[in-house]
Structure 1
Amino acid sequence: MEILIKASQFILSLSLLIVLHELGHFIPAKLFKTKVEKFYLFFDYKFSLLKKKVGETVYGIGWIPLGGYVKIAGMIDESMDKEQLKEEPKPWEFRSKPAWQRLIIMLGGVFVNFVLGIFIYIMLMYAYGENYLPNANVKDGIWVQDSLAMNIGLQNGDKIVSVDGEEVKRFNDITVKFINGNKYTIERDGQLIEKQLPIDFISKLVDRGKDAGPVVSVRYPFIIGNIPDESQNKDSGLQPKDLIVKVNGQDVKYYDQITELFGQHKGQNIIISVKRDGEIKEIPVLISDKGKVGAYAANLKIDDLEKLGYYEQANISYSFSEAIPAGFRKSYETLTSYVKQLKKIFNPKTGAYKGLGGFISIGSIFPSEWSAETFWNITAFLSIMLGFMNLLPIPALDGGHVMFTLWEMITGRKPSDKFLEYAQITGFIILVALLLFANGNDIFRLFD
């Protein structure tokens, strides 16, 4: 059921983005009186699931969910229809139109992607505002429980101040900033220390596996969640929801402090003080030879920690006029972050290519339960991502067509139809190779 919910959201989001992207080509083509022969969601190699001709255009749904297309007469595109090109250009064909009109038609899909992403972010800001944990409110520093964090030089209690000289404002942005960055600054014992991120940080991040937790997390208290029957302290008097505040008379606030003290008293009987219903109770317990108290900690969310007074979240509401610049800011941050990650993918030393994912990776980012806010956040991100990807100067993508059209406008020389045909084939091979690599990564990770 969980897979079905994720897949349904993925298909819905993808379909919306494809249809609107292709409309971005379709509408200017029609405005410039260019014949559009097909408008398809997904690809229809050999046959279609649905199709209907309205006027001069066949509208349909293909069976290969790898994208979609509009087939514009007189244009070398995904269909690789070369028969039209053997004839003299007709006034309604793409190749007969002025270069500036062809440029607008080609940029239409990308334009829609960016506008859609910005519009969704604006509406999300207006409807939900922003809710996040300010990094400045993590006053006692981070909890380091991951070997990767330790290997890059982080310790419990460190305060991450900036990455590449840019202040970290949101705590949850730390991992992404590490992915995009090269060096970071921490505050430790009142001193600022600058550290270098390893060039293969992303490779090491990917190697941790899909079930690994965050690189760093906030520190949280030890609240008893469950005491298993086999625990040596089953009958000690510990109860679920007990908050540990002292270990052998020593004040403690965080889980990492408590487990460190337990480790110092392996195999010993000690006294721990817990807060229960507003009262402090002292309970004798036996620490195992492995430094364990024999109780599982409660699974606490950031909202729980806020209620307990550990952290204060930021909750920002926006009027519609305020949501507009906030939506543009969010779109800009999303785009620049994605571009930085893409640059690292093309640098083999980073190992970022190992994190490249296909349809399984994209589908997995959708939640297992429906959330309108999360769905539209992901859709906005994908829209901006697809807009940028389509701008890359690769033949077979919009950016490739734009590149050749700009060349024509600057030099006054139009590339030959034969050259454009070979370029389209080359670009298609590149895209298929990337698609196979990305989805191959997904399959490999399933069995890792």
Structure 2
Amino acid sequence: MSPLLIKTIQFFLSLSLLIVLHELGHFIPAKLFKTRVEKFYLFFDVKFSLFKKKIGETVYGIGWLPLGGYVKIAGMIDESMDTEAMKEEPKEWEFRSKPAWQRLIIMIGGVTVNFILALIIYIGMAYAYGEQIIPGDSLSAGVHVVEEEIGDKIGIQTGDKILAIDGEEIRDFNTVFNDLVSGSSITIERDGQVIEQEIPVDFISTLIDDMDRARFFTLRMPFIVGSIPSESPNKDSGLQEADEIVAIGDQKVEFFDQVGPILENYKGAKVNLTVARENNVRKEIPVVISDSAKIGVFPGRPSMKDMEERGLLRLETLKYSFTESIPAGFNKGVNTLTGYLKQLKKIFNPDTGAYKGVGGFAAIGGLFPDSWNWEIFWATTAFLSIMLAVLNLLPIPALDGGHVMFLLYEIVTGRKPSDKFLEYAQMVGFFLLLALILFANGNDLYRWITSK
């Protein structure tokens, strides 16, 4: 099965699950309050449906346009814009005839289910998989800044230890990049000195403008030979896969980042490499350095266990009982929600340039791996569930948040907006939503074109 097909299947499976459960969040309270639900659809059925069947008073179906889904609740001004039905006298089983508090519960049901779903997934993942973390304070050698230009922009250098972001200690190094994207300040340790500095407001724009170099830092690690291509001038030198370069000439090497500057001194020349093999056997191997200061090998990556044995980091594997997994999953959900809200705040601030990173369906599909992995699938689905809930709560007519906004106004003031006002608001909201969809997917298209 092709990687693209695997990604596509995961995307539609996750999207379908989220949409059906979101709409079920509206459907269940509507039925509890004896409100008629005329349609329950996965995807939109513009002009025709792929499948539909009427059970009781409700038509259940699957549309052909995968932009979401909906439940059509009788007596409600929604995306169907059924204004003819609204001209008739209100009936007791219609949405508009129900008390405001019941209508509010119906409207927030979808996002409530999305938040609960995310928590259930995170709790289940904590119980089934546990966690493997790299405590931020365990990186004895700090980080390797691969892209120095980007590192200079934020003020991080190779060898720095990242201690905290926005004053919060780094619990897991694996989350540092996402924390930087949404953070405002960073605390680092350099040569024994603690430095706190602001993250530039447009730093996220720097990353978006050069996505190929966005992952600008990594763990500091030794230089391990990964493979030696057949066209390499050193293919017959005696170098072997898994060799660790520990010296170049008479200069000691501890880390991958030290190799490049040393090789600059040997361009177009021969030099002895000292490599370490199994059982710490050391061997000197004469090699030719290219005019571009390259050895002609692909670097490998030591395992996390090997890095731990070298004292470069510490791995902590956390296993949870069922009862322990509940607070662990809850904390994961809260942290994910908080991080997403921080990113959303940056998107709405033009100075950050974060709006350029807004993605559509291609970007969302790209979150899934090209090989089947249930752990990644569920983690991505949980994140998308939180994202869907937050976006649906935006106070835009045509979204749940728009309906909630008008209902809260009605509850507070005791005055209900007129049906004509709600119709116009729904139309405005629809066009705003359409513009957002076009913008997000236009960003996807632009990134695809410029990457060619």
Range that drifts further, 26-35 or 219-228: 219-228
What is the root-mean-square deviation in Å for CA atoms of aligned residues?
A: 1.6
Q: Aligned residue for 1:79? A: 80
CA spacing shift, 1:229–1:37, aligned 2, 3 Å: closer
Deviation at residue 213 of structure 1 after TM alignment: 5.5
Deviation at residue 304 of structure 1 after TM alignment: 5.6
Instruction: State whether structure 2 residue 4 is matched by structure 1 residue 9.
Output: no
Q: Measure the CA separation in 2 of the matches of 1:299 and 1:368.
A: 21
Cα displacement string for residues 115-164 of structure 1 (whole angstroms, at most 9, x for unaligned residues): 00101100000000111222222110110111312332221101111122
1:237-256 matches, cutoff 5 A: 237-256=238-257
Q: Aligned residue for 1:434? A: 436
Deviation at residue 312 of structure 1 after TM alignment: 2.8
1:22-421 matches, cutoff 5 A: 22-146=23-147, 147-209=149-211, 211-212=212-213, 214-278=215-279, 279-300=281-302, 302=304, 305-306=307-308, 310-421=312-423
Q: Measure the CA separation in 2 of the matches of 1:130 and 1:11.
A: 27
Secondary structure of the corresponding residue to residue 283 of structure 2 = strand
Tell me, yes or no, if the aligned pair for 1:175 and 1:215 is still in contact at 8 Å. no
Range that drifts further, 338-347 or 251-260: 251-260
Q: How many residues align?
A: 447
Q: Measure the CA separation in 2 of the matches of 1:420 and 1:336.
A: 32
Tell me, yes or no, if the aligned pair for 2:234 and 2:296 is still in contact at 8 Å. yes
Choose from 417, 424, 427 the match for 2:426.
424
Tell me, yes or no, if the aligned pair for 1:249 and 1:272 is still in contact at 8 Å. no
AA aligned to 1:122 is I
AA aligned to 1:106 is M
Tell me, yes or no, if the aligned pair for 2:187 and 2:197 is still in contact at 8 Å. yes
Q: Measure the CA separation in 1 of the matches of 2:252 and 2:203.
A: 37
Tell me, yes or no, if the aligned pair for 1:42 and 1:66 is still in contact at 8 Å. yes
Cα displacement string for residues 73-100 of structure 1 (whole angstroms, at most 9, x for unaligned residues): 0000111101111111000000000111
CA spacing shift, 1:229–1:73, aligned 2, 3 Å: closer
Deviation at residue 281 of structure 1 after TM alignment: 1.2
- Identity, in percent, stands at 61
Q: Measure the CA separation in 1 of the matches of 2:254 and 2:167.
A: 31
Cα displacement string for residues 244-264 of structure 1 (whole angstroms, at most 9, x for unaligned residues): 112223332211112222223
Show structure 2 runs of 5+ residues with no match.
Answer: none
Cα displacement string for residues 372-410 of structure 1 (whole angstroms, at most 9, x for unaligned residues): 111010111111111111111111111111111111111
Deviation at residue 308 of structure 1 after TM alignment: 6.3
Instruction: State whether structure 2 residue 17 is matched by structure 1 residue 19.
Output: no
Normalized against structure 2, the TM-score is what? 0.95
Deviation at residue 305 of structure 1 after TM alignment: 3.8
Secondary structure of the corresponding residue to residue 447 of structure 1 = helix
AA aligned to 2:64 is W
Tell me, yes or no, if the aligned pair for 1:144 and 1:150 is still in contact at 8 Å. no
Secondary structure of the corresponding residue to residue 83 of structure 2 = coil
Show structure 1 runs of 5+ residues with no match.
Answer: none
Q: Measure the CA separation in 1 of the matches of 2:236 and 2:86.
A: 85
Cα displacement string for residues 317-341 of structure 1 (whole angstroms, at most 9, x for unaligned residues): 0011111011110111111111111
